[in-house]
Structure 1
Amino acid sequence: MTFTVAIVGRPNVGKSTLFNRLVGKRLALVDDQPGVTRDRREGDAYLFDCRFRIIDTAGLEEAFDGSLEARMRRQTERAVEESDLVIMVIDARVGVMPIDEHFAKYLRRGKTPIALMANKCEGKVGEEGLMEAYSLGLGEPIPFSAEHGLGSSDLYDVIKEHMTRAVEEKASSDVFEKSEPIKPAPAMAAKAAEAKAAEESDSEDDEYPEDEFEGFEDDGEGRGPLQLAIVGRPNVGKSTLINKLIDEDRLLTGPEAGITRDAIAIEWEYRGKPLKLVDTAGLRRRSKIEDKVEKLSASDTIRALKYAQVVALVLDADGVLEKQDLTIARTVIDEGRALVIVVNKWDTCKDKDAVMQRVKDRLQTSLPQVKGIPVVTISALKGHKLNKMLDTVFDIYDVWNIRLPTAGLNRWLAELIERHPPPAPGGRRIKLKYITQARTRPPTFAISCSLPEDLPASYTRFLENNLRETFDMPGVPLRMHMKKGDNPYAGKKKRN
């Protein structure tokens, strides 16, 4: 049983600061500007010996239309429904606001237990607000300072109490279910079995199986789940793509550009293979970024890209591989990540042949260092070819993890040198003696070379391209290092 705690409250009361303190990392963006958090973010939290799941939510707004604020409110309401405990946070320095009273009434109407926290209680400034918090009718408030961690023991007592109560209720419920099993009538049982068999048969024929996805563990090889970062310019459909994959309105979407701010990681599974999907904020040119929060979002996206294993660069079919797209692609390759080009909104594209030719031409001219980058066309809104995209992601992930035998590599090197020997700048012959794969992810090779400083970069690129073609490693960055071999006679005295 996973105990889940949701943090709610009006904007700018310190919810994200509290989230970061409980997870022990700076995952959520924090700024003095209200409304920084939009999507709900989940993380594994700990407080002394308590381990639980925590959800950071957007500020509760009194909006009930189709606006962005209303969509944020619905995400918060969903987090409250899914939680075992809700921590409502107020700003003790400001005191109780009318909107705090409004949402305290809303929370009281629900079934989820509530704990009231008066944040920013360090010093005497928050004492008056702490006393006002009693008027909300949510019990005794917890005096706390998310910035400094003051009041952690009081918060621990509250969480521990509710966690123990939830475990006891779960245990008694299981005992009751086991002691009084309900058996359906034979005819009903037969119909239920037929319905279940038909449902399983239908799910096997579905293009996108709707399995019940659970948490994931390490795959047994020490690598864990595949981390897939979804990146691209603003408003190309990144969040819509993830929502369609997991078949849930988990992330905020809409016509407004730049809705996503935090890099949100979602645990998922595709055909028995564990995944961690990371939705990121859209990346614009640095020269166009002036807002402080957008700068923080861009930094968070770059951080997510660096920690990913495969990166899906989502493009708009109406404007593929523009200058900013190529900048993002080069960053992915420079970081040694595997790259998949995903052309979204393909169903609205009028001249498909011309768009695909443009993609191939731009990749060939602007990214010649990595040949064979896979390109997949999809429609995130309609769910077209999403399974093909994920199959491509896992295929290139396998290439990114490839391990080549040393004997085969040295046979390849010997044959290649015989046909195309390295140049001899200044009349000095360069010897390539030995090659080995130093590591994977990305594939990295070391060649023992007599004069590595004199070997032209063009010959190194020739080696990389031939190695990629010979061993079938398209689309992933390769690293090739020339290492000068040790002189076996160095340091030995000359005999008379």
Structure 2
Amino acid sequence: MTLTVAIIGRPNVGKSTMFNRLVGKKLALVDDRPGVTRDRREGDARLAELSFKIIDTAGLEEADDASLLGRMRAQTEAAIDEADLLFFVVDARVGILPADRPFAELVRRSGKPVILIANKAEGGKGMEGAYEAYSLGLGDPIALSAEHGEGLGDLYDALVPYKEQMDWDDDDEMDDEARAKKPLQVAIVGRPNAGKSTLINRMLGEERLLTGPEAGITRDSISLDWSWRGRQFRLFDTAGLRKRARVEDKLEKLSVADGLRAVRFAEVVVVLLDATIPFEKQDLTIVDLIETEGRALVIGLNKWDLVADQSGLLTELKEKATRLLPQVRGAPIIPLSGLAGEGIDALMKAVLQVYEVWNTRISTARLNEWLSEALEVNPPPAVSGRRIKIRYMTQVKARPPHFAIFGNQLDALPKSYSRYLVNNIREVFKLPGVPIRLSLRTGKNPFDKKRR
């Protein structure tokens, strides 16, 4: 069983910096202001040969349970319950503050083993604060600088007693079948307050992510492992993507960049629209981004339970999608309600279906048989009295489907004719909802050198 470690402490003591240091990647957003982290984020940590699961949490603050701060605190308390070991982090540069003590008492009452960490302990002033941490009564503090990587050897020594509870990741012992069972990566994106976190909570069957009427609650892109009908998935909840002109705050810019990174690493992206105000300009911009990144697409119409004429609106929206989103024509459009938990099965079936399409490979023989018919029905235009000649085509790669066409004068081929070919490929070979790439490759003329 994997050892689970939760990082606990008041805001702005460097918990997310420490999380990033131990997982070896900049997964968690880091900023000077307090309260950046809201949801609890999980990652696979490694220190020398020690391997364990680590949870980054929101800073502990006294607040009403119903408030946003109160809901953040509840997420942290859930992480404490889930953990086998706690890292209680204090800021060595400012010393022990009154706010540290009630939370030290909370950690002590949990009955979980605790490693006390005095972070930001670089320099003489930091060491003074580290000595002050003895007053919390949580054992010997480890003077550490997560930002500069100092003190990790002492942290390693403190973790050695828990070595037997840790996993050993030996890639050589994994067979090919185990490597093939990697989770399918699905990012949920959309405008702020479209209901992304609420939907994922219903999929997981627990209040794992912070939700509420306030727009922009989610800041980090949180990855969560989930199983549906025996298939493993990794879900990415992302911050709401607003119009770039409205994104002025530095922290929001970091959140948006984190969300875009989640799209790039995903295999399938679910764009969640608010069914009461669908296909806003920003929704179209998000779909355009997904097409540019070459991801498979599913459109989710959330809050469908608030729609009166459901059948009429669905027909209208499918026609609208065909007109507004020709670059991903045929993308599945799934009505659902994250709040009521309706439509999730249909959504996941569409995700698996479009994932298979995204991985499609078509033989060169079939492609050229189709190409001959397409050229006969609609031949390429002539340029300067000479007709553009397309000789043959092949599929270069999948994920998304990418085709190469070979011929003469292809640099003069009009974009309208390229669109004709792409649309025909999509229709004949049934490739709905995925971007299609088309490369035009002109062969070299062997007589050019002699003529020169």
**TM-score, normalised relative to structure 1:** 0.86
After superposition, the C-alpha distances for 1:350-379 in whole angstroms (9 at most, x for unaligned) are 232453244234323322222111100001
Cα distance change of structure 1 residues 402 and 221 upon mapping to structure 2, 3 Å threshold = farther
Distance 2:128 2:53 in 1: 32
* Equivalent of residue 296 in structure 1, options 235, 254, 257: 254
* Partner residue, 1:199: none
* Partner residue, 1:205: none
Which amino acid is 1:344 matched to? N
Cα distance change of structure 1 residues 126 and 218 upon mapping to structure 2, 3 Å threshold = farther
* Partner residue, 2:333: 375
Kindly report which structure 2 residues correspond to 1:290-439, keeping only aligned pairs within 5 A, or say none. Answer: 290-439=248-397
Provide the aligned C-alpha RMSD in A: 1.9
Which amino acid is 2:26 matched to? R
* Partner residue, 2:196: 238
Distance 2:425 2:41 in 1: 42
* Partner residue, 2:171: none
CA contact (8 A) 2:197 2:210 kept: yes
Cα distance change of structure 1 residues 229 and 460 upon mapping to structure 2, 3 Å threshold = same
Which amino acid is 2:69 matched to? E
CA contact (8 A) 1:317 1:355 kept: no
- Greater mean deviation of Cα atoms: 359-368 or 154-163: 359-368
User: Secondary structure, in 3 states, of the residue corresponding to 1:55?
Assistant: strand
Quote the offset at 1:232 in angstroms: 0.4
Distance 1:301 1:218 in 2: 31
Which amino acid is 2:299 matched to? I
CA contact (8 A) 2:266 2:295 kept: yes
Which amino acid is 2:402 matched to? T
CA contact (8 A) 2:410 2:442 kept: yes
Which amino acid is 2:269 matched to? V
Kindly report which structure 2 residues correspond to 1:194-213, keeping only aligned pairs within 5 A, or say none. Answer: none
CA contact (8 A) 1:227 1:276 kept: yes
User: Secondary structure, in 3 states, of the residue corresponding to 1:300?
Assistant: helix
Which amino acid is 1:45 matched to? A
Cα distance change of structure 1 residues 319 and 493 upon mapping to structure 2, 3 Å threshold = closer
Cα distance change of structure 1 residues 123 and 80 upon mapping to structure 2, 3 Å threshold = same
User: Secondary structure, in 3 states, of the residue corresponding to 2:245?
Assistant: helix
Quote the offset at 1:88 in angstroms: 0.4
* Partner residue, 2:102: 102
CA contact (8 A) 1:219 1:225 kept: no
Quote the offset at 1:81 in angstroms: 1.3
Distance 1:47 1:232 in 2: 36
Quote the offset at 1:219 in angstroms: 6.2
User: Secondary structure, in 3 states, of the residue corresponding to 1:266?
Assistant: strand
Quote the offset at 1:419 in angstroms: 2.1
Which amino acid is 2:418 matched to? T
After superposition, the C-alpha distances for 1:224-265 in whole angstroms (9 at most, x for unaligned) are 321110000111110011111111111111111111000001
User: Secondary structure, in 3 states, of the residue corresponding to 1:231?
Assistant: strand
Quote the offset at 1:217 in angstroms: 10
Distance 1:338 1:2 in 2: 33
* Partner residue, 1:170: none
Distance 1:68 1:89 in 2: 22
* Partner residue, 2:66: 66
* Equivalent of residue 425 in structure 2, options 445, 464, 467: 467
User: Secondary structure, in 3 states, of the residue corresponding to 1:27?
Assistant: coil
After superposition, the C-alpha distances for 1:326-371 in whole angstroms (9 at most, x for unaligned) are 1101111111111111001111112324532442343233222221
After superposition, the C-alpha distances for 1:265-307 in whole angstroms (9 at most, x for unaligned) are 1111111111110000001111111211111101111111111
Kindly indicate whether residue 52 of structure 2 is the aligned counterpart of residue 52 of structure 1: yes
Kindly report which structure 2 residues correspond to 1:149-298, keeping only aligned pairs within 5 A, or say none. Answer: 149-164=149-164, 166=165, 224-298=182-256
Distance 2:400 2:302 in 1: 27
Cα distance change of structure 1 residues 460 and 219 upon mapping to structure 2, 3 Å threshold = farther
After superposition, the C-alpha distances for 1:5-35 in whole angstroms (9 at most, x for unaligned) are 1101000000000000001100000000100
Which amino acid is 2:119 matched to? N
After superposition, the C-alpha distances for 1:60-83 in whole angstroms (9 at most, x for unaligned) are 112242111111111111111111
User: Secondary structure, in 3 states, of the residue corresponding to 1:363?
Assistant: helix
Distance 2:65 2:199 in 1: 24
Distance 2:93 2:279 in 1: 49
* Partner residue, 1:195: none
Quote the offset at 1:125 in angstroms: 1.3
CA contact (8 A) 1:85 1:113 kept: yes
User: Secondary structure, in 3 states, of the residue corresponding to 2:327?
Assistant: coil
Whose Rg is larger? 1
Cα distance change of structure 1 residues 482 and 220 upon mapping to structure 2, 3 Å threshold = farther
User: Secondary structure, in 3 states, of the residue corresponding to 2:235?
Assistant: strand
Kindly indicate whether residue 409 of structure 2 is the aligned counterpart of residue 451 of structure 1: yes
Cα distance change of structure 1 residues 395 and 252 upon mapping to structure 2, 3 Å threshold = same
Cα distance change of structure 1 residues 52 and 42 upon mapping to structure 2, 3 Å threshold = same
Task: Point out 4+ residue stretches in structure 1 off by more than 4 angstroms.
Answer: 216-223, 488-494
* Partner residue, 2:118: 118
- Segments of 5+ residues of structure 1 without an aligned counterpart are 168-215
- Greater mean deviation of Cα atoms: 419-428 or 236-245: 419-428
CA contact (8 A) 2:322 2:330 kept: no
CA contact (8 A) 2:404 2:440 kept: yes
Cα distance change of structure 1 residues 76 and 124 upon mapping to structure 2, 3 Å threshold = same
Identity %: 56
User: Secondary structure, in 3 states, of the residue corresponding to 1:18?
Assistant: helix
- Segments of 5+ residues of structure 2 without an aligned counterpart are 167-173
* Partner residue, 1:185: none
CA contact (8 A) 1:341 1:376 kept: yes
Quote the offset at 1:491 in angstroms: 6.3
User: Secondary structure, in 3 states, of the residue corresponding to 1:234?
Assistant: coil
